[in-house]
Amino acid sequence: RQRFPDRAPWTVTTLTLAEIKQLEAGSFFVETDPFGTIAAGIIDAPTQATLRREPVPTLAEALVYTRAHHWRVNVEIKKTPPPLESFPVVEKIIKLIEHLNMPELVLLSSFEHHYLQTAKALNPHIATAALIKRPTADPLTLLQQLQCQAYHPHYKLVNATQIKALRQAGFEVNVWTVNRPEDIAYFTEAGVSGLFTDFPQTFLRHQP
């Protein structure tokens, strides 16, 4: 808002890539301390300075980075806001993944389940995951219908019994967003494939 005061409401789709590249990805967190980690002394001053200077990466830059580190990465496809509602976002992402020769290193997830179906039609070798924010009566049938390889529910929408059943059926279960130590312990014990967390350092402390 300081950089572009006349561009309200500052929707990303109204900015050019060159304009986005003028922004700093970490300034918001340093200035607002949304999780209280700076006040608690968890994030020191040198790290804050590094975060403040961090540029906004493109998806291509992020994928190249993860490939160089041999990481498998979850790419969430968001619903494209105006004025780019008809932008072929799935097609563009699939082409990029193929261009970088990364189908086996990417897991595509989305709340927009039709995006996942489009992705499978374009390249059935890229794994997909159904993001879930509302109760789902039959997760197994949903995953089979969407031809997904993973289930990504909000942590309040899944329990150990469901996790076990889905894992036994051959699906990954990655739960979001798990921040409390007791929840990390519960889902780890339940056998999830992975957890989304705002505090990876807390998660690491709970590993055996």
Picking from 14, 37, 56, the residue at the C-terminal end of a domain is: 56
Spatial CA neighbour of 108 closest among 93, 122, 95: 93
- Nearest 5°: phi and psi at 86? -95, 5
Taking only the tens place, the pLDDT of each residue in 19-53 is 999 998 888 899 999 999 999 998 999 999 999 88
The pLDDT, as a whole number, for residue 206 is: 61
Average pLDDT rounded to a whole number, residues 80-98: 94
Residue 181 shares a structural domain with residue 196? yes
Among 29, 56, 83, residue at a domain's last position: 56
pLDDT at 53: 87
Question: Do 51 and 90 belong to one domain?
Answer: no
How is residue 90 written in tokens?
């799935």
What is the distance between the alpha carbons of residues 16 and 21, in angstroms, rounded to a whole number? 9
More confident residue, 10 or 133: 133
User: pLDDT tens across 165-196, in order?
Assistant: 999 999 999 999 999 989 999 999 999 999 99
Residues 47 and 133 in one domain: no
With a cut of 80, say whether residue 125 has pLDDT above it: yes
Across residues 143-159, what is the average pLDDT?
Answer: 98
C-alpha distance from residue 156 to each of 42, 118, 166 (Å): 27, 28, 16
What span, in angstroms and rounded, lies between the C-alpha atoms of 31 and 26?
Answer: 9
Domain count, the chain: 2
Q: What is the pLDDT of residue 207?
A: 64
Percent of the chain residues past pLDDT 70, beyond the cut: 98
| CATH code, domain with 190 | 3.20.20.190
Looking at residue 199, its pLDDT comes to 87
Q: At what angle do helices 59-68 and 89-99 cross, to 10 degrees?
A: 30
Nearest to 18 by CA among 50, 58, 52, 51: 58
* pLDDT of 70 strictly over 90: yes
Same domain for 107 and 146, yes or no, is yes
Q: How many residues in total does the chain contain?
A: 208
Structural contact between residues 72 and 106, judged by C-beta atoms closer than 8 angstroms: yes
DSSP state string for 76-127: E-PPPPTT-TT--HHHHHHHHHHHTT-GGGEEEEES-HHHHHHHHHH-TTSE
Predicted local distance difference test score (pLDDT) of residue 60: 98
* Domain end (from 14, 30, 56): 56
Of the two residues 128 and 16, the one the predictor is more confident about is 128
Judge if 18 and 4 occupy the same domain. Answer: yes
- Domain ranges, residue 1: 1-56
- Which pTM value belongs to this model? 0.92
